[in-house]
Each structure stands twice: as C-alpha cells, then as structure tokens.
Amino acid sequence: MTPDPRSQYRFSDYAKALRTHYRDFATDPESIRYIENVAASCEALQPRPDRFQQLHQRNFGSAMNAWHACRGTVPTGVASGYKGLLRIKTPFDLVLYQNLVWELRPQTILEFGSLQGGSGLWLSDLMDTYAIEGGEVHSFDLFSKCISPAATHPRLHFHSCNLYELETLDAALLSRLPHPWLVIDDAHVNVLDVTLNVDRHVEVGDYYVLEDIGLSPTIAFVEGLQKICAQGYAIDSDYADAFGYNVTSAPNGWLRKMHKA
Ligand SMILES: C[S@@+](CC[C@H](N)C(=O)[O-])C[C@H]1O[C@@H](n2cnc3c(N)ncnc32)[C@H](O)[C@@H]1O
C-alpha cells in the first residue's frame, strides 16, 4: 500500500479555495462549515489506531442490511447494470471498491464469480481510471460460457474453474501474478477451502473481500472466518464500517493480510 493514503485526500482544498477566491459569494457560513467538516473527517491525518480490527473485537451485527437498504422499484438494469451487463453490487460496495482500488492500487484483482463479466469489466475500467500500470483482472467462474463477449478489456482475463475442485484453480497462474492483490470472493461456494487455498499465494498488504456470506452469519461461517483470520488477516473497519457498522455486502469481510501465519 502507498504511504498514508489519507495524505492524498484533497477535500479541504475546496473549502480553502472557496474562502480565498469567493469570500464575497460564499456568504453562507453553514455550507462552508459543512464542507470543512466532511473534509476533516475524510482527512483525519493520523490513521485511526483501531482501523485494522481483530475478529474478536467485532460483532456479527449490521446497522443495516446492505441489500435490503438498496432494494428499488425501478428496473434492475439501473441498479444492477454496468455498460448493459449484469453487475450485482450494492451502491455501498461500489463506493468501497472504488476507494480501495484507488488506495491499494492493486496489480492484480482476482474475482471469484464472473457472472456475465460486468463486474470484471467495471474493475478493469477502474484500473484505467487510476492509471494503474500493468494491473490486471482475473475472473473465475464455473459457467464461463455465460460471460458476454461485450465483457472485453485488455486488462480482463476470464478463467473456467469449479471452486469445489480446487485443482481447477490455476496454481501456476496464481503464483506468478504480481502483488498487491485484491481478491473478491463473490461466488460464495466452498469459501473456507478456497480462501485457505488462495491464501498460500497472498502477501502482506493484500486484501481479500468475502461478499455476502456474512450477511446471515451461521456458526459454520463464524468458525470459518476465525480460521481465515488466524492466517494473519484483520478486518479493515475503514471499509467495513464506512456507511455504518457492517453496512456492506461483506460484513466483517474486508480483510487485509497483516502478517504471515
Ligand atoms: C453472485 S454471482 C457473481 C456476481 C458478480 N461478481 C457481480 O458482481 O456481478 C456468483 C457467480 O458464482 C458462480 N459460481 C457458482 N458456483 C460456482 C463454482 N462451483 N465454481 C465457480 N463459480 C461458481 C456462478 O456461476 C455465478 O456467476
């Protein structure tokens, strides 16, 4: 990860510029104060000491179920589409990924669960937006023939695999893909075994996001997450709690590899 990413925030420049250049127009002190407050909370220049939390410091509740919160009444293509392809993410998670890709600048994004390819295409476009030199997205799915030919991007590579058969995950590929990594498990099958298998290739500083399985945490999920976290992961609360405690499709699932087990 780059040095303290908070030093890259420029929000407070806006309020300063307003005061400097438009003092006569910007007469509403409340609106300037509002912007200053937003800026201050985004730019808390000292990283929060409790940003990376151990699983035992967390509970399994959520202030709000992220999926329930964004159920709309208009055609789902608006809520769940990207460039005309399915991309099934909550608006909360779209913002979280957008910021994590900016902050982490991953060289590799691994996605388990390609669906139609829309999410992989979006992640590839994000890498373009942030001019991440050499960055690639590798997306894996059982039903790879359902991936749209429109999901085409020079950074984007699809692979067939069955996550119940771990030997179908190309270990040679994983061992050579450059870090940092952002791994997104959005297939929700055999998650514990998949994560422990992929973890052999994960390096300190990489991120591993477990989507959806933490929304209704079962005992098996809690025990599985304990085993995963025992491999040296902590929960990045800047992401898990950005919209309220665990208001994300990945409650307690924004994991950062802190050390090797
Ligand atoms: C929730 S969808 C992925 C959504 C997509 N990432 C997005 O954001 O739009 C889950 C995907 O997991 C895939 N999947 C289900 N079982 C699988 C398995 N055993 N191995 C690999 N992929 C599997 C499904 O084919 C499906 O495309």
CB of 117 sitting under 6 A from ligand 1 = no
CATH number of 51-257: 3.40.50.150
Contact 112/86 with Cβ under 8 angstroms?
no
User: How many Å lie between the centroid of ligand 1 and the Cα of residue 259?
Assistant: 29
pLDDT beyond 60 at 1:
no
Report, as an integer, the average pLDDT of 235-242: 96
CB of 87 sitting under 6 A from ligand 1 = yes
Q: Measuring CA to CA, which residue among 235, 239, 185 is closest to residue 209?
A: 185
Q: Measuring CA to CA, which residue among 106, 173, 83, 187 is closest to residue 144?
A: 187
The residue to which tokens 């990376």 are assigned: 52
Average pLDDT value for the chain:
92
Q: For residue 16, give the amino acid letter.
A: K
pLDDT for position 2: 46
Give residue limits of the domains in the chain.
Answer: 1-47, 51-257
Give the pLDDT confidence of 157-210 residue by residue, as tens digits.
Answer: 999 999 999 999 999 999 999 999 999 999 999 999 999 999 999 999 999 999
CB of 189 sitting under 6 A from ligand 1 = yes
235: left (phi over 0), alpha (psi -120 to 50) or beta: beta
- Residue 160 has a CB neighbour count (10 Å cut-off) of 14
Tokens of 72: 């709309």
3-state helix, strand, coil in the chain (%, to 5): 40, 15, 45
Report, as an integer, the average pLDDT of 16-39: 78
- Residue 165 has a CB neighbour count (10 Å cut-off) of 10
- Kind and range of the H or E element at 159? strand 156-160
Tokens of 228: 């995963």
pLDDT for position 17: 86
- Residue 226 has a CB neighbour count (10 Å cut-off) of 11
pLDDT for position 8: 74
CB of 113 sitting under 6 A from ligand 1 = yes
Place 37 in a pLDDT band, splitting at 50, 70 and 90. Answer: confident
